[in-house]
Chain A
Amino acid sequence: GESVGLHLPTLSVQEGDNSIINCAYSNSASDYFIWYKQESGKGPQFIIDIRSNMDKRQGQRVTVLLNKTVKHLSLQIAATQPGDSAVYFCAERPSSGYALNFGKGTSLLVTP
């Protein structure tokens, strides 16, 4: 069936470096994508979203890139900080549905 997945289950980066977290999706009918951050013991927290009519969107220190041709989504975090250590999820919503389908999550570990 349709699925959302992540290329790397864990990612370790040094403080100050840029991080890139990748996500592949298989439902070409998806029209909305979100990145969430989940810290230990907490609920997922919205980071940034993008609609399918865009290919890039920037927030504060974060950028989401969408490549619909290859059905790929990425989250770039600039100047990664220890507080960025968390599990990151991408999620997508099919244009015909209401539910968000979440990917498996990537654990980001920021080392000093």
Chain B
Amino acid sequence: DTAVSQTPKYLVTQMGNDKSIKCEQNLGHDTMYWYKQDSKKFLKIMFSYNNKELIINETVPNRFSPKSPDKAHLNLHINSLELGDSAVYFCASSRQIASPTYEQYFGPGTRLTVT
């Protein structure tokens, strides 16, 4: 059983388009995250939701908008895609953010290529 799943795994699109990446976790976790991994493998937090409430919103362009319809889902919508948005996007989840065990479970990633 997949713990954290993302769709699609690969996404190729043209500049200016709008696209969404979906994430679902079946671990019963309260907190979900979106990370961006660049070509040098650097992982950077973008957003975090705890019980459907936005708690982390790093400095990302407002073209990126997370949406959490329920605790098990955190989708990422990107408007007006730019070349620099090309990266691998990872969804992750963890127990309550204040939990002493802070292990985050990552999804398989979505490789976004903007042409």
Chain A contact residues, CB within 8 Å of chain B: 32, 34, 36, 38, 41-46, 49, 51, 87, 89, 93, 98-102, 104-105
- Please state if B41 and A34 are interface contacts (CB–CB under 8 Å): no
Per a CB cutoff under 8 Å, which of B44, B56, B102, B107 touches A34?
Answer: B102
Those of B97-115 within 8 Å (CB) of chain A: 97, 100-109
Q: A43-B108, A89-B43, A105-B41 are in contact. Are A99 and B102 (CB under 8 A)?
A: no
Q: A44-B43, A87-B41, A89-B43 are in contact. Are A99 and B106 (CB under 8 A)?
A: no
Contacts of A43 in B (CB 8 A): 4, 90, 92, 106-109
> Does any Cβ of A come within 8 Å of B15's Cβ?
no
Interface size on B, residues (CB 8 A): 25
Contacts of A89 in B (CB 8 A): 43
Q: A32-B102, A42-B108, A43-B90 are in contact. Are A102 and B97 (CB under 8 A)?
A: no
Chain B contact residues, CB within 8 Å of chain A: 4, 40-45, 48, 50, 55-56, 58, 90, 92, 97, 100-109
Give the residue among A32, A49, A102 with the most B Cβ atoms within 10 A.
A102
- Please state if B44 and A102 are interface contacts (CB–CB under 8 Å): yes
Per a CB cutoff under 8 Å, which of B56, B90, B107 touches A99?
Answer: B56
A interface, by DSSP: helix, strand, loop or mixed? strand
Per a CB cutoff under 8 Å, which of A32, A51, A105 touches B42?
Answer: A105
How far is it, in angstroms, between the C-alpha of A89 and the C-alpha of B55 when the chains are bound? Answer: 24
Q: How far is the CB of B44 from chain A (nearest CB, A)?
A: 7
How far is it, in angstroms, between the C-alpha of A89 and the C-alpha of B41 when the chains are bound? Answer: 10
Q: How far is the CB of B57 from chain A (nearest CB, A)?
A: 10
Contacts of B42 in A (CB 8 A): 102, 104-105
Per a CB cutoff under 8 Å, which of A46, A51, A87 touches B105?
Answer: A46
